[in-house]
Each structure stands twice: as structure tokens, then as C-alpha cells.
Structure 1
Amino acid sequence: MKLHDSGVWLRAALLALPVAIAQVAVTQVQSELGLRPFAAAVAQEGEQRETRRTPALRNQVYEKLAEAQAAAEAEDLAGAARILEDMLASGGKNELNSYELANVYNLYAFIHYTREDYNAALKAYENVARQPDIPLAMEISTRYTIAQLYFVQERWQDGINSLLDWFKLTENPNEEAYVLLAQGYYQLNDYTKALLNVEKAISLYQEKGKTPKEQWYNLARFLYFEKGDINNTVRVLEELLKHYPDKQYWVQLSHMYGEQKKDSEQLAAMETAYVQDMLDKGTEQVTMAYLYLNAEVPYKAAKVLDRGLKNDSIEDNSRNYEILGNAWRQAQEVDKAIPAMEKAAAKAETGELYARLGNIYLDGDRNEEAITAITRGLQRGGVRRPDSARLVLGMAYFNTGQYDKAREAFKAAGRDERSAKYAEQWIQYMESEIERQRQLAQN
């Protein structure tokens, strides 16, 4: 028995996650933006003056900026904006040096971002970056913020370009920057560059003895899967499970082992999730049952299905009861197979399952019930092999001594060339048995 269509929903699971990853990344961008008000900017004054001759921040300008920042922190954004506008008005802009202007625009950006006016915030930060001779640290942090804002607005290529500019200025870029760049390339479907950057972030974290973030692994896993690199998809999933032992990763790993034709590992991964009660979806439990059936462990398959059907986690439809009945039958548990197949047949739209139920009744030496089931199935229609069903019907009639009806059933089966030989053999056997009984009666 094959895995039915379980691969469809498993593939959907493998594909669905990175959309959520992208959303998480944007949310992180919004929460991690370097939106520093004036105090942080002042703290950078004088940094790296050995490479840049940064103009001084004059005392009267400092006082105005401090006043504007205090208003902003008090949530008086309008008041803070008015102070900044006054500083730029009536020739003030020309009187401010580049470093002072950078701090004004930096505080403007903070106000715009607080108002969720991201376009205005972005323009303000770009004005900060345009100012010559600002401290290098200030330019670096500002350019990173600009890149982040582009990502918030889903302007992926602009974000990538800005981030690449930031990388040129930065001696020791952090892991999050590589992941952000990977996200940008992912959104543009450049999976090769996305992989290079997210793997760089993961390796940098590992070199520091730190555990890479779950969403980083997830992005790498998705990208490898999309590139058809099953071996690396498995490798990333195995790494994920070392640090984040979640149900979805066991299920996905099981599916990937199946792609590698590693049947025992496929079963083991899925079973690990099942024994921990992680498989709460009916489709997952049915897949577990199929894996047991493929491994020729029908008893365990039946137990999984029986439990799921009883606690309503598996849908009580004809198909699932049919699988349960087949599992019990393969496990030589005919008495348990019969009620399962009875339910399957009753819920089915065609007579096929009644024909199969007749076979099980015959195996259990319940001939009258076999006759009833097969007759009902043939009357309902949709039986895949009516010739085979009529052979079984003939056997059941024969076992109950209804030889005329048995002969009629065998002849009907013999009209199909696939069963003609067997039907003729059964008729010959029945005639010899009738003759044997006649002679016994005479003696």
C-alpha cells in the first residue's frame, strides 16, 4: 500500500513556512530599527575622528536638540517637530553644520517613524546619510536603518542595494544583517544568493558557540528544498531538530527521508513524533498508518487508526475505515476487520467495499453474510471487478449447499475472460463434489 496523497500536504507544509518567515523578518525589522533619538547621536560625537574631521556640535544647537528630544520622549511629537522646524527655518538650515543637520534629521526620522510615516522617516534618514563628515559610526548605523526601512516597505531591491552599501562600510557585520540580505534575495527569487547569506549567518553563530535562530534554519531548509537539494534539506532539518524539536520538523524530515528512499528512517522520524503525541492531525496519523503498512507492521497501523477514529482526531469517513479494515485483515485480526469494513461499506457511495466485505466474511466462514454483502454491492454498482465478486459469491453459495445459485454465480463470473478459467475450475470441482455426495447418500 502506497502513501496515498500524503505527499501533497507534506509538500505544502514544506513550502508554506518561508512566507511566515518573511513576515517574521519584517516584524523584526520594525522592532530592531536603529531609531535613535538625539541622546544616542550625541554619544557618537567624536568617534573615529582619526578618519573623519567631524564638525563640532555647538552648545546652542545641542540645547535645542535636547529640548526637541525631551518633547518627543514626552510624546509631544508636534512640539518636537516645531522646534526642529524652527531650527531649519529662516536661514537656520544654512547656519547648521553637517553634523548638526544630521542630528536634526535623525530626530525628525524618529518622529516620523513614531507616527508610522515610513516614507517620511526614510527620507529623513537619507538626509542624515547625505551629510558630509558625520561620524562613521553614525553613517553606518543610519545606512543600516535605511536598508531596514526599505524592507519594511517591501522595496526589496532598494533594501538589498542599501544593505550592500552598508556592508562596504562595516568591518564586522552581524549575523542579522546576513539574514536580512538573504531575505531580500529570497523575495526576489534569487535562492542561490539567499542561501549563501543565510548559511553565512548560521556558520558565524555556530563559530561563536551560539544556537542559530529557528527562522534562519527554516529559510535555509526551504531554499534547499526549492533548489531540489534533498540531502541538504535533510541536513538542515536534522540540525533544526537538535535545537527545536517541533512536530512539523519530524513530519517534514520523515517526508524527506522518503524522498531519499530511506524507508526505515522515514518510519522512525514519523514514529518519534507519534509516540510523543505530536501528531494531532488526522492526515498525519493516517500517514503514520501507511508507513507502518509499508513496513509490513499492519497491527501497529491498525492501532493508530483505531485510536484516531475513536478519539475523533481522524475523520470517520469511508476511506479511513477501509484502511483500518485492511490493516486488521493483514494483521490476521479478521474479527476486528469486519466491523471496520462494515462501516466503510455503509459510508461508501459505490458497492466496491461491500464486495470486499464479502471477501472478509468468507475468510471468517460467515457465508450467509458474505452472500448478503456481495449481493448488495453488485446491486449498488461500482464494483471494480464484478467477476471476482461473483466468484466469491459462488464460493459462499457453495459452502452453504446452494449449488444452483453457486453454478449461476460461477457462470456469470466466467463471462469475463479474466475469471473464466477459475470459474470453470470451480464448476468442475462443485460437480465432482455433488457427485461424491450423491454416491455417499446411495451407500
Structure 2
Amino acid sequence: MKTKTTILSALILAAVGATFTAPVAVAAEQCEIDTRKTRVVSERVGRRVQKAYELYAEDNVDGALEILLEINPSGEFDKAYVSRMIGSLYAGKEGHIDTAMKHLKIAADINQLGGSDQAQTLRLLGDLNIAERNFDAALKYYNDWMAFTCKEDTNVYLRMASAKYEQKQYSDTLKYADKSIALQKEPNKGPYSLKMASYYETKQYKKAADVSEDIVRFFPNERRNWIQLGQMYMLGEDYKKALYTMDVAHRRGYLETASEYKMLAQLYAQNEIPFKSAALQEEYLKSGLVEKDESSLAMLANTYHQAKEIDKAITYYGQAAEIENNSRYFMRQAGLLMEKERYKEAKTAIRNAMNGKGLKSTGEAQMLLAQAHFYLGEYKSAHQAAVAASKDSKTKKSASGWISYIKETADRKDVAI
């Protein structure tokens, strides 16, 4: 799986990209936006503003700003109007958001603009503060916008949910995300993603999976949604649903990364379908999607072992062991070779284990070697190995029994040891 950080960054990006829907009016006795009378700037200021508009229409933003910044309005309304215009122009210039917010705040605080102008100023301040990660300020301006207009809007609630998520206030994130969803005319993934992320962060994995189901239902053709749903099922330990989801994703061609294929292989094994797991592992190892390292080969060997495909398990344990000369996997290979009565090959694997790295018990290796020699009729070598095994506390008792048995067998067959 991907790491937690990788999975949550994607969710936040999804939440930012909201689509436009019209705001919904909220019942109120009287909205302030409706009480504002239409006003015009003074003649002196109006002439300068008109010239600035003309320059802006010619894409000469710097020229328009130069004129506006030279105006020194005396009246409060004129000051608010010019400040709003300056702020709006700076908002469109890269690297000038702080300056834009400073002028827009002046206009908003004077609070004398016409209804639509004041509303747009408040909302723009919310959007700019979100962009600058000033979340408390953004929330204030969005609340001010709703109070002023007596309206609700799905995208405003989405941005409020995003702000609360960034502040790690997950219960509020859920509240605003639900409000955003309730106002949607068409499904927008953003609030669902924030809901799922909030449940994920609070370890409510089953609820996260429920939301992820909604995401897949509304956006079934986005491959990442299927992977995400499978991950949520896994975190909630619903391995059957996780397997079904990832299997569908595989059949749709949505699996792309090594971790995604490994996840599906793991789920087959967890759901007691080891052969399909092993076949998938073998497929992606042969394709080169997953590197043939010790870990991946050992996992494949272990899965074939579970599937009772012993010959393949022997092969892959051997390959895994050879990469780092790992005694552990040589011993597993030797044990399976003994099971298949391939005693000569077992002796080689045991000696490889004894010469390899990380052998936990020399006595166990010697004991297995004694048995291999014995079944090949090599009683003298079997006796020597059993005597060596008797010197290890782990295998002393069993080795003593084998020493006696080897002697009795050799005597019966008239073989000197």
C-alpha cells in the first residue's frame, strides 16, 4: 500500500478542484445584501477609475494599477470601491496575493460597497486566504459571505471542509462536507474525499470504506477510486470485499504499480486462494514489474508451498536463498526436498545452509543431513551427522534416538560405521 502520506495528499488535491454550482438561498427575514442601495463613486474618482478600466480592457494591468494607486479617495465609499478594484487586479497577478488581500480587506471592512460587490469581496477574501493557508481567516470570510447573502453554496462548504481538514478538526470537516454534498446538483468528488480522509485519520476504517463505496459508485471509471476502496476494506479487515474490489480492478485493467499487484496477490492468499496468488506473483515477477529480490521470491515460494505446489516452492526457495546466501531459505528448500524424497538434492541444500548466512541451529541442519544420508543408505555419514547434531541442545534428544537407530540399521545390514 501506499504510505499514509501518499494516500492523503491525493485526497486533498481532489478536494480543491470543485465545480461551480449556484448558491442556495436560505430563508431569512431580511438579508443585508438586499438592503444595500446602488451607489456611484465621485466624479473625480470616477474619471480615474474609467481610465483604469480602459487600460485593463487592453490587458495593461500594470497601467491600470498605477492609475488606481495614485487615487487618494476622501469618501469611505470611494475608498472601498478603489481598494476592491486594486485588490481584484492584484489577485490576478502571480506572487501578489498578500497585497491583494490587504486591499480587499480594506474594502470589506469599510462595508459600504453595493450588495453584489460586497458579497464578491468577502468570498474572494475567503478563497485567497484558503490559497495562502490562512484557514481561520478563510472560515471567517466564508461565514461572513453566508451571513451577508443569506445563501449557501456547495463550493463554499467544500472549502470550509478543506480548511477544517487542514486544521485536523475532523468532526467539523465531516459537517461541512455533508453540507456541500447536500447542495450538489451533480456529484463532486471533493467532499467525499475529505469525508473519507477524515474517517481514515480517526481510524474509522469501516466508515471510510462506506464513503469510498460512494466515490466508486459516482465515479466508477477512475482507476484510483477502486484501489482506494480496496485499501479501505483491507484497513477495516474486510478481506473478502477487498479481494472482490481489487479483482474487479485487475479485470478492468486498473492495476498499474507493483504495490497494487502485490496487494491483490496478498488478498488471494489471505482468502485461501494461494494458487491464484502464486500465479499472479509469478506473472509480475516474469514481466519485470516487481524485482526478483529475496523477499519477492521467498513470498512466491511460500505461497506455492501453501498451494501444495511443492516442486515450484523448492525452486523459488532456492532462488531466494541464492541471492543473499540465506540459510533460512536453504533450510526450507531442504525440508521440502526431503518431503519429496529427493535426498541427494536435499544434502546439497543442507550444506548450502550450513555454509550460508543466518543459520539459527547447526544441530537442526545436521539432523536433517543425517536423515538424508540415512535414506540414501549412507550410514557412516548419517552417524557422523547425528553425532554432530547431538552436541546441540536443541537436537540432542532426537539425535540420540537417531544415533541408536542408525547403528541398529547399519548392524543389521552389516555396514561398518
TM-score range, shorter chain: 0.7 to 0.9
Match of 1:260 in 2: 236
Alignment of 1:352 with 2:328, yes or no, is: yes
1:17 pairs with one of 6, 10, 24 = 10
Matches within 5 A, 1:41-440: 51-56=35-40, 64-85=48-69, 88-89=71-72, 93-94=73-74, 98=77, 100-116=78-94, 117-205=96-184, 208=185, 210-211=186-187, 213-245=188-220, 246-438=222-414
Secondary structure of residue in 1 paired with 2:151: coil
Q: Which amino acid aligns with 1:152?
A: A
Change (3 A) 1:360 1:154: same
Match of 1:38 in 2: none
Give 1:56 shift.
Answer: 4.1
Q: Which amino acid aligns with 2:211?
A: V
Q: Distance in 2 between matches of 1:128 and 1:67?
A: 20
Deviations 1:385-437 (A, max 9, x none): 43333232122111211111112222333444443444344444444544554
Contact kept? 1:230, 1:256, Cα under 8 Å? yes
Secondary structure of residue in 2 paired with 1:228: coil
Contact kept? 1:109, 1:120, Cα under 8 Å? yes
Contact kept? 1:280, 1:313, Cα under 8 Å? no
Contact kept? 1:282, 1:315, Cα under 8 Å? no
Alignment root-mean-square deviation, CA: 3.0
Match of 2:24 in 1: none
Q: Distance in 2 between matches of 1:83 and 1:364?
A: 92
Contact kept? 2:274, 2:306, Cα under 8 Å? yes
Aligned length: 403
Give 1:377 shift.
Answer: 1.0
Q: Distance in 1 between matches of 2:276 and 2:33?
A: 73
Q: Distance in 2 between matches of 1:407 and 1:106?
A: 97
Q: Distance in 1 between matches of 2:136 and 2:270?
A: 48
Q: Which amino acid aligns with 1:343?
A: Q
Give 1:375 shift.
Answer: 0.8
Q: Which runs of 5+ in 1 are unaligned?
A: 1-5, 33-46
Contact kept? 1:10, 1:255, Cα under 8 Å? no
Contact kept? 2:192, 2:211, Cα under 8 Å? yes
Give 1:19 shift.
Answer: 5.1
Change (3 A) 1:401 1:193: same
Match of 1:42 in 2: none
Q: Percent identity?
A: 23
Deviations 1:302-360 (A, max 9, x none): 11111111111111101111111222233232332233222111102432221222122
Contact kept? 2:33, 2:149, Cα under 8 Å? no
Q: Which runs of 5+ in 2 are unaligned?
A: 21-30
Q: Which amino acid aligns with 1:356?
A: R
Give 1:128 shift.
Answer: 2.4
